[in-house]
């Protein structure tokens, strides 16, 4: 089934969110899903409902908020209980899709599944038919397809199509394939699978060798019409193919691919920026399409060329990927309407109540800071609106630094712990260590600090410092962020935020997504 329309399948909230450091809370997932809809992805894989109660609830909420154009997909292992749970989560979407998968490589069948090829074929026939009894929109993935025997792959795909699957995905699960070789394998499968003309073929490429996007694009030349990927390329291990790179390749090189997508490319930068804010990972400066340097021309020869004719060194415009500056300057005297318009330009549609909250926060920030940048506003909305109700709340922090000898760095903190105000003071080897020790004593838990990073959100000495921390305890791990012009306060906020996330993650019982566990069928 080949056409000139490329289906973009986004798995930022499933494969992306399950990767270390990319965990999002319920509100953040809903916000991200809404933005992905605005971006124009065709299929949104909202999560893996059987993996935890938290995932189930967020997939269900995303399904319920989604409009009629987007397909909301849930992942399910090839087992009835997973498929039933997936359907329960997505059935309220206007356009639901069940995505079920099973490994087809000898390696996975032997060691991971402990099933014979015949048993695998039976499971595919049985489970795809069960999924099709719930919805006609069923995708089947042959996990580890790129390392599977090509004739067995044809049998597995033929079985899934005969059982009613309408999309067949051939993932490069471990990022092992090379572009020409992968395209050749897919070409073979499409030519030799019984009923192939009834299905749309799809790819899902991991980036272990840095070829996720290249492999995905190579597959287009042999008839693949769905590409799966994640914003900013997040995902298991080295990540997935980056959606923004796939989309811009198809748009900029329409002459080469001859395909159309539904992506509103001007929403690319706002979407990636939102993701980066939510997961607390800055976009690298040299990142294709969205990095700060992607449109910066430094060398004299290049600058000269750009002045004479932009096309000499620019293959796409910053505006085409949404890197436009809104010239509405926000400050002390801005009214509610200007603030609303500004947030809309940044991609945030706020309710009246949310607008009032950010309006007050803007006034407060404007008292402390001369220039308010877009990044400050985005950090603010993230902190004030999308954060879950907290069990721990920081009220005041005061620190005494010291260079050497004498009194060690000292911190005093006042905070709410599960509704009760507490105060405490203590020491550390540095001011941040002192603050973290005091907070840890107050909440009565001492998680490991796995990572601490600090970033100036904008230029200038009055810039907001944005701190990201990762902590872990008892096999659970959580990320926290905090922004404040005082970097010690930003650190304290980030630590408290991480502790709140840790509590939330423990409550939802989600350690790491497990895609194994077959045999419980
Ligand atoms: O990488 C992979 O094979 C997957 C499947 C579940 C599609 O993520
Ligand atoms: Zn994957």
pLDDT tens-digit profile of 494-512?
999 889 888 877 776 554 3
Q: Nearest residue CA, atom 4 of ligand 1? A: 173
Pairing of strands 392-400, 410-417: antiparallel
**What residues does ligand 1 touch, defined as CB less than 6 Å away?**
15, 101, 141, 143, 169, 171, 173, 204, 206
Of 49-63, 218-232, 484-498, where does mean pLDDT reach its minimum?
484-498
Are the C-beta atoms of residues 362 and 332 closer than 8 Å to each other? no
Is there a binding annotation on residue 192?
Answer: no
Is there a binding annotation on residue 204?
Answer: yes
CA distance 259 to 225: 9
Of the candidates 502, 511, 384, 509, the residue with the CA atom closest to the CA atom of residue 443: 502
Angle at 66 between CA 63 and CA 69, to 5 degrees: 120
Secondary structure of 167-191 as H, E, C letters: EEECCECCCCCCHHHHHHHHHHHHH
pLDDT tens-digit profile of 235-280?
999 999 999 999 999 999 999 999 999 999 999 999 998 898 888 7
Ligand nearest to the CA of 234: 2
Helix (H, G, I), strand (E, B) or coil at 415: strand
pLDDT at residue 70 tops 70: yes
pLDDT tens-digit profile of 364-381?
888 887 778 777 888 788
pLDDT tens-digit profile of 303-336?
777 777 888 888 999 989 998 655 677 888 888 8
Q: What separation in Å is there between the alpha carbon of 173 and the centre of ligand 2?
A: 6
Q: Whole-model pTM? A: 0.78
Mutate which of 168, 171, 212, 515 for ligand 1? The one with the most ligand atoms within 8 Å of its CB, which is 171
Q: What separation in Å is there between the alpha carbon of 302 and the centre of ligand 1?
A: 42
Residue 187 neighbours by CB under 8 Å, 6+ apart: 222, 223
Surface-to-core class of residue 351, CB atoms within 10 Å of its CB (0-12 exposed, 13-18 middle, 19+ buried)? exposed
Q: Nearest residue CA, atom 6 of ligand 1? A: 101
Are the C-beta atoms of residues 422 and 415 closer than 8 Å to each other? yes
Q: Nearest residue CA, atom 8 of ligand 1? A: 15
Pairing of strands 138-143, 167-169: parallel
At residue 389, the pLDDT reads 66
Q: What separation in Å is there between the alpha carbon of 175 and the centre of ligand 2?
A: 9
The β-bridge partners of 227 are 8, 203
Is there a binding annotation on residue 4?
Answer: no
Of 51-55, 104-108, 255-259, where does mean pLDDT reach its minimum?
51-55
Q: What separation in Å is there between the alpha carbon of 239 and the centre of ligand 2?
A: 8
Is there a binding annotation on residue 34?
Answer: no
Q: Nearest residue CA, atom 2 of ligand 1? A: 173
Percent of the chain with pLDDT over 90: 64
Residue linked to tokens 């995932």: 55
């Amino acid at each position: 089934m080949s056409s000139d329309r490329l289906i973009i399948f986004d798995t930022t909230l499933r494969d992306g969110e399950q990767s270390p450091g990319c965990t999002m809370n319920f509100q953040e997932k809903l916000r991200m899903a809404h933005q992905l809809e605005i971006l124009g992805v065709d299929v949104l894989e909202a999560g893996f409902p059987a993996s935890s109660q938290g995932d189930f609830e967020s997939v269900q909420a995303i399904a319920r908020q989604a409009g009629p154009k987007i397909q909301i997909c849930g992942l399910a292992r090839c087992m009835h209980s997973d498929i039933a749970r997936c359907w329960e989560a997505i059935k309220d979407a206007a356009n639901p899709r069940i995505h079920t998968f099973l490994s087809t490589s000898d390696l996975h069948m032997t060691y991971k599944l402990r099933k014979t090829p015949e048993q695998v074929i039976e499971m595919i026939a049985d489970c795809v038919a069960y999924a099709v009894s719930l919805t006609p929109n069923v995708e089947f993935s042959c996990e580890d397809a790129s390392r599977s025997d090509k004739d067995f792959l044809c049998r597995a795909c033929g079985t899934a199509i005969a059982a009613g699957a309408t999309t067949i995905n051939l993932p490069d699960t471990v990022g092992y394939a090379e572009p020409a070789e992968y395209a050749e394998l897919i070409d073979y499968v499409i030519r030799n699978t019984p009923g192939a003309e009834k299905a749309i073929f799809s790819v899902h490429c991991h980036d272990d060798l840095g070829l996720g996007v290249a492999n995905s694009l190579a597959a287009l030349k042999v008839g693949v019409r769905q590409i799966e990927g994640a914003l900013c390329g997040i995902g298991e291990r080295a990540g997935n193919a980056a959606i923004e790179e796939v989309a811009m390749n198809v748009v900029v090189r329409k002459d080469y691919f001859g395909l159309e997508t539904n992506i509103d490319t001007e929403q690319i930068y706002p979407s990636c920026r939102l993701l980066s804010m939510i997961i607390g990972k800055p976009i690298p400066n040299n990142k294709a399409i969205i990095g700060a340097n992607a449109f910066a021309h430094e060398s004299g020869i290049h600058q000269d060329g750009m002045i004479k004719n932009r096309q000499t060194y620019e293959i796409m415009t910053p505006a085409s990927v949404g890197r436009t500056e809104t010239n509405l300057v926000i400050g002390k005297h801005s009214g509610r309407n200007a603030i609303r318009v500004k947030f809309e330009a940044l991609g945030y549609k706020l309710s009246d109540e949310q607008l009032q909250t950010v309006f007050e926060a803007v006034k407060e920030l404007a008292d402390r800071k001369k220039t308010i940048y877009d990044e400050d506003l985005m950090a603010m909305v993230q902190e004030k609106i999308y954060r879950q109700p907290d069990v721990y709340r920081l009220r005041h922090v005061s620190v005494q630094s010291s260079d050497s000898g004498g009194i060690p760095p000292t911190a005093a903190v006042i905070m709410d712990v599960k509704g009760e105000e507490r105060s405490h003071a203590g020491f550390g080897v540095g001011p941040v260590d002192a603050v973290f020790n005091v907070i840890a004593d107050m909440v009565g838990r001492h998680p490991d600090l796995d990572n601490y990073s600090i970033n100036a959100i904008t230029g200038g000495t009055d810039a907001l410092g944005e701190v990201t921390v990762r902590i872990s305890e008892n096999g659970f791990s959580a990320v926290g962020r905090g922004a404040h012009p005082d970097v010690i306060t930003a650190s304290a906020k980030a630590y408290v935020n991480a502790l709140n996330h840790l509590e939330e993650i423990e409550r939802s019982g989600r350690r790491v997504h497990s895609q194994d566990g077959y045999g419980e069928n």
